[in-house]
Chain A
């Protein structure tokens, strides 16, 4: 990482649904700001925040929900699709499964491209890469005429096996671009096998990129007007950032922009505290984002947004339907349930003063764990009487005891989250007990120690500025260019020497990635990682394996055998393997921002003793501003307040600030 030059002004800005978070660094001091988001024109909150603070950042790293929202609300560009003859319906057939098997009448979201704008061309490339039906220029011309007549703003092209031979796609794209169309071509965006997922990703990109392009255009213009005029980078779903120009052409790479920033930030905080293996635990109002990272950001290959599979590299983050606003209710069988419905930001928990439904936040208030006079640094008053009434409305089965009811709500939501955390770990072959839990978001640090007890986790880390961890992650994240190439490369045990086809592919990809970074101005200190998706011949599932520089058949096989052994407990030296995808990840370092330098918002509230219900009963508990915790730490039970979160330290636990200001919580020995 590069220590940011003194005097150079940097800004990380994360636009969320409710708040736009700013983390500003001028080489000496960090400043944290929050502004209400302006969902209709997200750039307004960003620009006014910059204007009001008088900053003129030279470099802005930005997390945006523009692409995600365009997908979720179906407000993207009018898109057309060209496919191989016989496959125009791949987009609607998908994998032919229904999302909820016990739905009386299952539903599926409508496709991004309706029937009338999906077209086929005569052509076919076979599984061995040979052309069995050549492309016909007249046919291409006729199909593109029809695309034009459909008044599509954007065109997606996805032909079968184009990752093996892209010639046909290239010729269609060239002709379409000559006619002035905006085109996303599958072999450029995602040259790997599985036609539905590739088509879906290609279409999604065509659909959201024009929207993203217009947004980033307005933002860049605004930044210039504010006198910043510097570089604008966008956080991608892969946990790295990329220049605005590339982001507006491949906007689908940014659909998990915000969560990726959070994971990058959590991993960074974990490392700083000496815990390379972390579970990032971001619990907000309506949902909780969770990610298991073993020393590096994990990737997942099964992301769907609003029912649409997106296969570009994505941080391994999962959303769980539990948050502070989750609604507690008694079901028809008499069990207490929490969620998945949420009171959201509006009306919000009963204590916010607008709604009456009991939520997790209301339960915390009834248990005195959330000091009503200190919420958001005292900026927002909470109504404990309303929280009490809301919880009382479901208290009948608990002998009308609101305290017992509130405790029950907390234990049920904790059980739900523990279940999700454990499942996510098992799916990755990991044990949650081996990780440290990095808790952030408004509600995360209230639940973290209970979850740690439940999962056998020894250490909880609460970042210094948990409310802007995502913006911090963005500022610090590497600039990352992912390029990949699907192939069919068969390696039987007889192949021991250099595999020239793979070497050439990697060299070409590396060149491509370096050029992309050079366009952004990153020529030196670029690190290259080589990865490959490998499998035994005949299998349908790959393992992603990191490869070194030497690409002999024997070394590849050895790397695969090791990975297979670790995952499945066995490997087979005699069996042929296949290389299915070659991947290059090129990284240029992001900024190192020393967190210990954050200007503390001075919290003047005094420390006091209150009766707070922790676990089974009320206990005399110290309630104090987090900033007042001395270097030697504090023993639980304690409640630590700060502007953007509340930390609960249970009895038997100790919270100690670490050098950079992150709180380390552990059981006292």
Chain B
């Protein structure tokens, strides 16, 4: 490493630096374009729940196409895990989803493949990696996001293994995976698309390194990482040094009563951050546990938001962040606990905690809390019209926090995710489900000089019996306001059956009958700043009453 540092410090000229960044980023972008072009499932194609990245031979992230922030810190871990499989041959391709070995949660299936120069010496140039959320990877509930206690209940666990050996498919690996998922045809299509993206990325990275020359490419890579570090340092230098503490909690772990707290002591030094999560809750026999990679991703995401908008994404940006993550806590889970919700829910709360600490350092820049949950809904069963099993997964947007820059936006995904919704006209054509209403939840954003954005209410009717899993947060504690702004309204889930409506807990598995309706009302964002005296009253309970009425008047 010492040698690396010294060599890298011979800086590249500003144009070479810009061009090499452009070339390497292009490899990641083209992999993403190829994956989207050839994937089969709506989850990848329409909701774009995937990321692609390029690494140097030492496993440093050189570029990541901007899609899913929660993958930021996690993909590097999977490359590290895969290096255990060395030595590699050209054409090797590893697959994994083990959250404790470089994964995040089981549906996120990662592939990593080494890239070699085409000269006789076959030098390792680097790696390309991709991570795509597969709509189902087996386990106790369709969609593989159950309310579980142990990882093994959540689905098939794939440790780093070869899916291709020297360019040849390892058929046993593929057969084993496909036999353990609910929709094998679709999985086969998506995995094939992921492999195709890799083959493109490998060719492009090899060609790039050939063109610049292998040694020059290595120098350029180091220069790129140093460049990232300089960009981050410029931003870090402007922050007031000091120690800032903040804590927040999850409503529940979904299994036992009681909140789950996350504590942070953030130390800002002139050239770096130290995030100390000591004091956070111990890991639970539940799925809200976040592996360390998820916690790091959350911090990287926050830093990335403070950087100028055209900043490239490489691991140099993150060199100046240090962590203290107590082992066996909810921010650094250890086997055998379940983790599905750690990735989608706890990650959002970790982000909130980091923003909360930073807001003390930068009171005129940081917005109030956003909805703080991805509002996951998974459903599945046997479709009576076809006799086949089906699995569906969606996340639902909420309100963004108001901030010094203006009011929060409404009904939009925030922070660690940015996946799209499924159109009502698509859903009803493909699944035994019908969207009854999808409206803004007016008045749910917290009041303030800058209002929080509103959440939304999505009511879905089931046209056949199904098992529905909801994993949601901010159902009890509200997204907080800042600088005198009011909190947003917490979310609510309910189930209408035979004309009667009952509230559901934030995390639950329910069996629904034909004609039942599930409504998910998502939280609004917190408000920012003290409201001027003549504020408007709560005009919008009307809207909510309307939802309740609509949900009750089911067709049964």
Contact = CB atoms under 8 A, between A and B. Distances in A.
A412 B403 contact: no
Interface string B6-17: 000001011101
Contacts of B259: none
Interface of B: 11, 13-15, 17-19, 21-23, 25-26, 29-30, 33-34, 36-38, 40-42, 45-46, 66-67, 69, 185-186, 189, 192-193, 196, 200, 227-228, 230-231, 234, 301, 304-311, 365-367, 396-397, 400, 403-406, 408-414, 418-426, 428-430, 434-440, 456, 459, 550, 555
Of the listed residues A89, A193, A336, A429, the one surrounded by the most CB atoms of chain B closer than 10 A to its CB is A89
A294 to B, nearest CB: 15
Given A87-B424, A126-B434, A335 B23 contact: no
Contacts of B428: 126-127, 161
Contacts of A92: 410-411, 440
B30 A340 contact: no
Interface string A397-427: 1100000000111011001100100110011
A107 B402 CA distance: 11
Contacts of A89: 411, 438-440, 456
Contacts, number: 216
Given A332-B231, A540-B46, A98 B437 contact: no
Given A96-B412, A108-B409, A102 B304 contact: yes
Contacts of A132: 555
B439 A333 contact: no
A658 interface: no
Q: How large is the interface on A (under 10, 10 to 19, 20 to 34, 35 or more residues)?
A: 35 or more
A87 B434 contact: no
Nearest to B420: A95
A214 B196 CA distance: 51
B439 A88 contact: yes
Contact of B429 (A95, A101, A127): A127
Interface of A: 85-90, 92-93, 95-98, 100-108, 126-127, 132, 160-161, 193-197, 330-338, 340, 397-398, 407-409, 411-412, 415-416, 419, 422-423, 426-429, 488, 536, 538-541, 567-570, 572, 575
B181 to A, nearest CB: 15
B196 to A, nearest CB: 7
Q: Is the interface of A mostly helix, strand, loop or mixed?
A: loop
B13 A397 contact: yes
Contacts of A194: 423, 425-426
Given A102-B301, A107-B409, 18 more contacts: A88-B439, A93-B421, A96-B420, A98-B413, A100-B309, A103-B305, A103-B309, A104-B306, A332-B231, A335-B17, A336-B14, A336-B17, A338-B18, A340-B310, A408-B15, A415-B23, A419-B26, A538-B186
A105 B430 contact: no
Contacts of B422: 540
Contact of B46 (A488, A536, A541): A541
22 contacts: A92-B411, A96-B396, A100-B309, A101-B66, A102-B309, A106-B400, A107-B409, A160-B424, A160-B425, A193-B426, A331-B308, A335-B14, A335-B227, A408-B13, A412-B18, A415-B22, A415-B23, A416-B22, A538-B186, A540-B46, A568-B189, A569-B192
Of the listed residues A87, A93, A340, A411, the one surrounded by the most CB atoms of chain B closer than 10 A to its CB is A93
A335 B437 contact: no
A333 B305 contact: no
Nearest to A338: B18
B459 A86 contact: yes
Contact of A334 (B17, B38, B405): B17
A126 B428 CA distance: 8
Given A96-B413, A104-B405, A107-B409, A332 B419 contact: no
Contacts of B38: 429, 567-569
B17 to A, nearest CB: 4
